Amino acid sequence: MSHYWARFEEVNKNIYRYDTRIYINQIDSISSDDFCIGAIVGKNPGSAKGKTSSDLRPIFLNGDKLLPTVKNIMQKSFDLAKINIPKGAYIQVLNLFYLCEPDLDLAKNEAKTKAINGICNTEKKNFNFVWFAWGGNDNFLNSYKNRFFSIQTKQPFYYDYKNNIIQIKIPDEFASVKHTQGLKHDFVIPHIAELLKTNKSLERNI
């Protein structure tokens, strides 16, 4: 059983991670009844590992911090909202690019010398909410943020680390967007709990 699932693909000796899912409760296999309750946008996949396959497989964290951090925050948000966690509920993890590399500087260098292997098709979904956590202004990464300006969601948000508030909008490329690293959970849990309360798709799964 695992909370974390994804599809890993090898291209030109590089590993890419697509359709990454954080299940709020562990599952032992993927089901067509599983459903996405929201998404988070990070920089690129880090140290987590998995077997290359055309199917979703469990992820081995290997020291990855973002995935368990988001899982813990979501569990606390469900508790605060007093909503039972539905079976098969997951958070979709989106990235600015999908090259697996825990050292961001090395990932950037790789991206500069080789074509990044496309985007994830899950970016085309309509999400109940999208949490932006791609960090602040970055001359290299800013160009990858543009495609998310038109992502389909009515409830975007990010934690603004300069003003110490939740911003209810899609950030521009220069915004002071807080990554999950070092983020105090209490900064975002109350807001996510309110989003869960307004999600009618959860009511019929309780």
Statement: residue 111 has pLDDT above 90 = no
Per-residue model confidence (pLDDT) at position 205: 44
Confidence of residue 115 (pLDDT cuts 50, 70, 90): low
Q: Give tens-digit pLDDT for 170-203.
A: 999 999 999 999 999 999 999 999 999 998 878 6
Length of the chain equals 206
pTM, two decimals, is: 0.94
Q: Distance between CA atoms of 39 and 21, rounded to whole angstroms?
A: 9
- Show the beta-strand stretches assigned E in the chain: 2-11, 14-27, 35-42, 57-58, 89-95, 126-127, 130-132, 152-153, 156-160, 165-167
pLDDT for 206 = 46
Tens of pLDDT, residue by residue over 120-170, are 999 999 999 999 999 999 999 999 999 999 999 999 999 999 999 999 999
Comparison of pLDDT for 206 and 28, the residue scoring more: 28
- Retrieve residue 105's tokens: 């500087």
pLDDT at 66: 95
Alpha helices, DSSP H, located in the chain: 66-81, 104-113, 142-145, 189-197, 200-203
Q: pLDDT per residue over 51-70, tens digit each?
A: 999 999 999 998 889 999 99
